[in-house]
Amino acid sequence: MKQKIKRPSWGKTLGITAALCMGLGVTTSSLAWIPAGDTTKVTEVVIWNETGSQGLLFKLANGNYCYANPTQSPYYNSIVTQVHAAYASKANVAVVCYDAAENIGGYTAHRLHRFVTTN
């Protein structure tokens, strides 16, 4: 006796596919980054020295603020040194920050992902 295989209806298949695509869209948008462009300059630096503070915040020439928190990065001291050196020397930098903005000490800023000094 031959068994008949029941295939899912197209409506159900499309519904599952749409749900998966929407789920992937939500996931990837939360991981997106905001590049500052090809290169930019650091125009302002704010640093808090108190224990439990927000850490380092810096403004880019395009008006975006990025921050680095001492509790979130094992390279925090290196980041502070690089940002201050780039600010003092007015060096070009390539900066990539996460898309999600947060209130850091009254500034709307994005968490730093990558900071590279270029020349």
Q: What is the pLDDT of residues 33-52, one digit of tens each?
A: 666 557 889 999 998 876 56
Calpha distance 23→27 (Å, rounded)? 6
CATH number for the domain harbouring residue 104: 2.40.50.110
28 in a structural domain: no
Backbone torsions φ then ψ of 40, nearest 5 degrees: -150, -175
Please tell me the predicted confidence (pLDDT) of residue 84.
Answer: 94
Please tell me the predicted confidence (pLDDT) of residue 28.
Answer: 43
84 in a structural domain: yes
pLDDT > 50? residue 66: yes
Please tell me the predicted confidence (pLDDT) of residue 19.
Answer: 46
111 in a structural domain: yes
114 in a structural domain: yes
Q: How many domains does the chain have?
A: 1
3 in a structural domain: no
Q: Of residues 54 and 112, which shows the higher confidence score?
A: 112
7 in a structural domain: no
40 in a structural domain: yes
> Nearest CA to 66 among 17, 115, 7, 16?
115
Beta strand spans in the chain (E): 33-35, 42-47, 56-60, 65-68, 92-104, 107-118
Question: How long is the chain?
Answer: 119
If you average pLDDT over residues 88-94, what whole number do you get? 93
Please tell me the predicted confidence (pLDDT) of residue 73.
Answer: 79
Look up the domain containing 74 and give its range: 33-118
Q: Mean pLDDT check: name the lowest of 34-48, 58-72, 94-108.
A: 34-48
1 in a structural domain: no
